[in-house]
């Protein structure tokens, strides 16, 4: 119960921390994101995690981090999945404001509209990845960050078991935030 209270408190801190709000506003202004884009989707502001643990190093050397309670739960989840012969790999975990801004900049440079970008990526300051509680996962034989992940035994296993470890799929079909269906994206909220 205490962890739940801490999770809720961290979300309200983000919205009430003037320095953090100013950073988010400056980045959104630099990217040309109007306030009504955020308001129309009722996106909650997400605080950047301050304490992180390394959970995995990708084949490309990229390090993936989560907050300590989420890291512990992820290790337990992954071990349980592996014992059922379900290999899981992290594609993405913690991302700070600047990394999220870089993702948006890259998509803008490719000519994508903000509406298109924000159907698949949260605006900086509003990503669950900022919290150190979100993971994008894959498994052998599945293309990363593709809906086809839902056809894998890994997705079936996660659907049945992730909740036992405190993880939930954030963006099912028809989610209220207007994001595309993301069967690969799981959020720690015990």
pLDDT at 17: 85
Query: CB pairs under 8 A, 24+ apart, for 118-121?
Result: 118/37, 118/41, 118/178, 119/178, 119/179, 119/180, 120/179, 120/180
pLDDT at 39: 85
Interval 124-167: pLDDT, tens:
999 999 999 999 999 999 999 999 999 999 999 999 999 999 99
Q: Is the pLDDT of residue 69 over 70?
A: yes
pLDDT at 55: 97
Alpha-carbon Rg for the chain in angstroms: 16
Full set of structural domains in the chain with CATH: 2-188 (3.30.1380.10)
As a whole number of angstroms, the distance between CA 62 and CA 108 comes to 24
pLDDT at 181: 97
Name the pLDDT band for 37 (thresholds 50, 70, 90): confident
pLDDT at 14: 56
Name the pLDDT band for 10 (thresholds 50, 70, 90): very low
Name the pLDDT band for 38 (thresholds 50, 70, 90): confident
pLDDT at 41: 84
Per the model's pLDDT, the better-predicted residue between 7 and 150 turns out to be 150
The reported pTM is: 0.88
Interval 70-122: pLDDT, tens:
999 999 999 999 999 999 999 999 999 999 999 999 999 999 999 999 999 99
pLDDT at 13: 47
Place of tokens 């935030």: 177
Interval 51-66: pLDDT, tens:
999 999 988 899 999 9
Q: What is the 3-state secondary structure (H, E, C) of 126-173?
A: CCHHHHCCEEEEECCCCCCCCHHHHHCHHHHHHHHHHHHHCEEECCCC
Rounded mean pLDDT of 159-181? Answer: 96
pLDDT at 60: 86
């Amino acid at each position: 119960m205490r962890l739940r209270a801490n999770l809720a408190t961290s979300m309200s801190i983000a919205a009430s921390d003037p320095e953090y709000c100013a950073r988010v506003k400056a980045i959104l202004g630099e990217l040309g994101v109007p306030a009504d884009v955020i308001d129309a989707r009722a996106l909650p502001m997400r605080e950047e995690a301050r304490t992180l643990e390394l959970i995995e190093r990708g084949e490309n050397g990229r390090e993936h981090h989560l907050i300590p309670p989420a890291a512990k739960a992820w290790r337990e989840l992954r071990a349980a999945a592996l014992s059922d012969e379900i290999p899981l790999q992290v594609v993405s975990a913690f991302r700070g404001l600047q990394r999220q801004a870089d993702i948006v900049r890259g998509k803008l440079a490719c000519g994508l509209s903000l509406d298109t970008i924000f159907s698949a990526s949260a605006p900086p300051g509003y990503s669950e990845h900022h919290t150190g509680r979100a993971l994008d996962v894959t498994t052998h034989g599945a293309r990363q960050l593709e809906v086809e992940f839902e056809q894998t035994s890994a997705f079936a296993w996660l659907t049945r078991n992730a909740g036992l470890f405190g993880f939930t799929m954030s963006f099912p079909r028809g989610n209220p935030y207007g994001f595309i269906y993301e069967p690969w994206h799981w959020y720690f909220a015990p």
